[in-house]
Structure 1
């Protein structure tokens, strides 16, 4: 029987080896596109890889397509091995870049670290909203897609919505072999270097916050902190809420956010949704919210003028009748420009506007 893999794909090179198996860069003969093909190390039947392979396929089936999750296309068994066809990320993994940076003592700048954190948080937000948790967030499971530009300078991409139009680098979560359901967790612990203490203690009430913990340490690695311990005193020191030493000066606000993400109490850690809106990562959202608030106030003021039949403008007077004629049920000449909610005892349809707060006098006949 002809192998589907050999029939449909032209293998170019091996691009990775992981816990599950090897990953190959291949061209699909039918469409000419490049894909990442993952092949399990051992035959699945009766092996420890079987459950991991099924977890990954099931997770992809539930998740569908999201710009910050590596895209899944197909999976099949061949000679007892599981083969998974995924999107090829042309920038490799975050771990690949970290290793290259370490050789030159070069690290991601804070702006780049924030970009990574924000984009991966978007992917986690989607995964968590689908009722799943990743359980193995780390640099080798964060993949990089660099936008390609053709001769005309226009972007060449088959991505319908990369979710980050302003960035030339897209970060995506991959390797879903440890994914489990929040409601019915079947936890297979991931890399112990990134493992939250509550998971080790088999406390599974806040599994989504374990992903947040691992993401903070992933950012610390990208910032240049070096290798993390798999156990021991330093391992426990980090689980007490202490960041590993980072060889560059980060802003106080960003450092505090990372510390919050590894807080010993998972309840105190921000959710992925909160991170996608956090002012440290999205300062423009805070400015937009303030502007919206100001617009709402101005809109309310304008509508109030319309309802009361009053002229608009900064310098207006609610009561302008010099003879004290009752206007809208109120006759006080001492009325201020500030509207408050004290009701008029004379059944005025509008709020009393006397700054002293005293009731309005009865309407003149």
Structure 2
């Protein structure tokens, strides 16, 4: 091996080591940069570890443990990507900001947790998320770039989106004004319509999965629970399970009694929209079981009772989206798009129908108003009442006839 090739090999090992340490959260990208400034590349992994310990970024025991596991660490890196910082962590894995070296662009890399990487079921689910995302190409959905395995490390590379989630905004106490909330919900509905046309259902629409980018674009993220509506094999596996996030889950996804379809996403988007404009989810209980039962049995408080500034049109749209029976919701996200666009134009929704309770209340109010107007304008003595018809007309005729005969007889008898 030439001296140049040997130096490149040493540098590659250093990069892989640093990637591994960042991946495991032992050091940060900033600490890596400081270490590189102090120690020229090509010194070897032992020198890199010594510098990290010297600076206090690793403890002595951590440095020794890393050295013992060096071969494993160097084999478990993602070729072509430089991990920069940890963005967050979920139940299945962690997401990192990274640089794709081949094209020099920033991406997000999701890595399956090491303890789950030995379970075929979790591996299958993780890779299914990547394949599902790859089928979608919408400006309102986070785009898939790459997926695979490097040693025992399973990864999924996707578009990096700068911005804040709706959840972060709500946690800061923000209540969205109606126009902005409708604009956000509209873009999410367009993303869901794109997925629906490809036979997919998201199943986890919620504030945490809606990203508000710095340039005003709304992105729907996290397809970890997404599936094809005709996946019969998955139906058998998931039967009886509860799939989704309690505050926003559709009733039919609780203990999966029926095959899920896009109307479950419409319900979840309705629950999210409700939260955005009222400041609380439809059923804000602290007990998860009570929340799930409420989705099945209770009616949420009308949103305009919590926020009187909301228009009747928006309340009607939300009520239809949150119908318990999915047959009474919008049939597709396209219908939601139509009504939300109406609201943005200042028009009443075209497709939303009021719930029976609200409709009954208004009918009773109109009836009372009409009766009150009639009482003031129409005197009672001119009211027309049709004559009552006897139920026994023949009996009356017979009695009249007998009465007539009796009178004739008496008249004749007196004359005698």
TM range (shorter): 0.5 to 0.7
Q: Distance in 1 between matches of 2:255 and 2:291?
A: 18
> Are residues 1:124 and 2:184 paired?
no
Q: Answer yes or no: is the 8 Å Cα contact 1:239–1:262 preserved in 2.
A: no
Q: Which has the larger radius of gyration?
A: 2
Q: Distance in 2 between matches of 1:206 and 1:8?
A: 38
* 1:281-324: CA deviation from partner (whole Å, max 9, x where unpaired): 5554979x9xxxxxxxxxxxxxxxxxxxxxxxxxxxxxxxxxxx
> CA 1:281–1:233 in structure 2 vs 1: closer, same or farther (change >3 Å)?
farther
- Counterpart in 1 of 2:222? 175
Matches within 5 A, 1:1-365: 5=77, 7-42=79-114, 43-46=116-119, 48-63=121-136, 65-100=137-172, 102=173, 106-147=174-215, 169-185=216-232, 186=234, 188=238, 189-205=243-259, 207-223=261-277, 224-225=279-280, 228-229=284-285, 231-240=288-297, 242-243=299-300, 247-249=306-308, 250-270=310-330, 271-278=332-339, 281=342, 283-284=344-345
Stretch deviating more after TM superposition (172-181 or 214-223): 214-223
Unpaired segments ≥5 residues, structure 2 = 1-70, 351-416
* 1:256-301: CA deviation from partner (whole Å, max 9, x where unpaired): 21111110110111120111111565554979x9xxxxxxxxxxxx
- Counterpart in 1 of 2:18? none
Unpaired segments ≥5 residues, structure 1 = 148-168, 290-365
Q: Distance in 2 between matches of 1:240 and 1:146?
A: 39
Q: Distance in 2 between matches of 1:69 and 1:51?
A: 22
What is the Cα deviation at residue 72 of structure 1?
A: 0.5
Count matched residues: 262
Q: Answer yes or no: is the 8 Å Cα contact 1:275–1:281 preserved in 2.
A: no
- Counterpart in 2 of 1:165? none
> CA 1:49–1:93 in structure 2 vs 1: closer, same or farther (change >3 Å)?
farther
Q: Answer yes or no: is the 8 Å Cα contact 1:68–1:171 preserved in 2.
A: yes
| Greater share of residues in helix | 2
Q: Distance in 2 between matches of 1:38 and 1:54?
A: 11
Q: TM-score, normalised by structure 1?
A: 0.64
Q: Calculate the aligned-residue CA RMSD, in Å.
A: 2.8
